[in-house]
Amino acid sequence: MSENKEIMRGTGLLVIEVVNSNPNGDPDRESDPRQRHDERGMISPVSFKRKIRDLVEAKDGPVWKEISKGMNLDKDSNEYEILESRKAELKEIHELDEKGFTKKYWDGRLFGNTELEKGRNVPVKTGVAQFGLGVSIAPIEIERLTTTNPAVEAGKSVGMAPLAYRIVQHGVYCMPFFINPTAAVKSGCTQTDIDLMLKLIPYAYSHSPSYIRSQVNIRHAWFVEHKNALGSCNDFEIIDALTPKKKGEKDTPSTTWEEYEVPKDLPKEIKDKVGKVVDLMAGTYK
């Protein structure tokens, strides 16, 4: 446990490869993969945080069991409930005072919440960990296929689902995230809360696949801890240095991972400005 450890400024970057999958459907476009006006793909921060929340909420799942055991969180599992849960009882939320609220809801302490926007009186609004929009490095190509639809009523033959299977053929997305120590003063977030999130990130997609999202893989999950709480290096400088670059024609969709030049570490001149630099996918975060 590391509740009393001072929280440092943090800068992260997820490098996500998508192969024949829909990483985040757009409800305004019949669940097409999200796409910007310049044809680059998008993954919303909400969709990624949902996967992290689900791993914590699944207390009987292997990810929570393994990580909570390693972090000695089993005895405090009642402090790791999920506010943005489909099971959340509004009456119970309203009855909690500020201390009770921050103690109970892990995602409220870490991510903040949208409860105030829903007209609910809760104490925490802005979270310590903020994820940015994931955007593909190159434009994406969307494939739409008609699939068969099993009969749902007796006596009906199998039907068709026209253009229902909507996927990105290939894309490499970058999603930044940030740790802001200032927000912890109000939210009650601790270093242990942050450590839990960092240990969960590698399993966000591998333990939440679906029919339409079978091949989404985090290739690198960089986390850079600054030397102090204020920040010892510009966030964008770090993100630019860790972002893969597409070889050849940059404005055409990619087909394989090999089409990218992928950084293996921060350049020395930037690395000297920060403290810890880890790739969470390598299992080196302690």
Q: Is the Cα dihedral 62, 64, 65, 68 positive or negative?
A: positive
Q: Is the Cα dihedral 239, 245, 249, 251 positive or negative?
A: negative
pTM over 0.85: yes
Taking the C-alpha atoms of residue 39 and residue 252, their distance in angstroms, rounded to an integer, is: 10
Three-state DSSP at 260 gives strand
For residue 119, what are the domain limits? Answer: 10-282
Question: Given this model, what pLDDT does residue 99 score?
Answer: 76
* Comparison of pLDDT for 284 and 70, the residue scoring more: 70
Taking the C-alpha atoms of residue 236 and residue 268, their distance in angstroms, rounded to an integer, is: 16
β-strand partners of 17: 172, 217
φ/ψ of residue 16, rounded to 5: -115, 125
> What would the pLDDT profile of 66-124 be if each residue is shown by its tens digit?
999 999 997 667 899 998 886 655 556 656 666 777 888 899 899 987 544 444 455 55
Taking the C-alpha atoms of residue 4 and residue 190, their distance in angstroms, rounded to an integer, is: 7
Question: Given this model, what pLDDT does residue 166 score?
Answer: 94
Q: Which of 286, 282, 241 is nearest to 265 (CA)?
A: 241
Look up residue 94 and give its two tokens: 């309203």
Taking the C-alpha atoms of residue 230 and residue 275, their distance in angstroms, rounded to an integer, is: 13
Chain center to CA of 6 = 24
β-strand partners of 172: 17
Is residue 106, in this structure, part of any structural domain at all?
Answer: yes
> What would the pLDDT profile of 1-12 be if each residue is shown by its tens digit?
455 689 999 999
Q: Are strands 260-261 and 40-43 parallel, antiparallel or unpaired?
A: unpaired
Question: Given this model, what pLDDT does residue 102 score?
Answer: 81
Asked whether 12 and 176 are in contact (CB, 8 A), the reply is yes
Is residue 3, in this structure, part of any structural domain at all?
Answer: no
Number of domains making up the chain: 1
244, pLDDT greater than 60: yes
Question: Given this model, what pLDDT does residue 191 score?
Answer: 96
> What would the pLDDT profile of 192-243 be if each residue is shown by its tens digit?
999 999 999 999 999 999 999 999 999 999 999 999 999 999 999 999 999 9
Question: Given this model, what pLDDT does residue 101 score?
Answer: 77
Is residue 5, in this structure, part of any structural domain at all?
Answer: no
Taking the C-alpha atoms of residue 83 and residue 72, their distance in angstroms, rounded to an integer, is: 22
CA distance to 50, 113, 115, 151, per residue, from 176 (Å):
16, 19, 24, 43
Is residue 2, in this structure, part of any structural domain at all?
Answer: no
Question: Given this model, what pLDDT does residue 106 score?
Answer: 93
Question: Given this model, what pLDDT does residue 20 score?
Answer: 97
Is residue 231, in this structure, part of any structural domain at all?
Answer: yes
> What would the pLDDT profile of 122-172 be if each residue is shown by its tens digit?
555 678 999 999 999 999 999 998 887 665 555 566 667 777 889 999 999
> What would the pLDDT profile of 33-65 be if each residue is shown by its tens digit?
999 999 999 999 999 999 999 999 999 999 999
Look up residue 268 and give its two tokens: 């020395």
> What would the pLDDT profile of 106-119 be if each residue is shown by its tens digit?
998 999 875 444 44
Question: Given this model, what pLDDT does residue 90 score?
Answer: 53
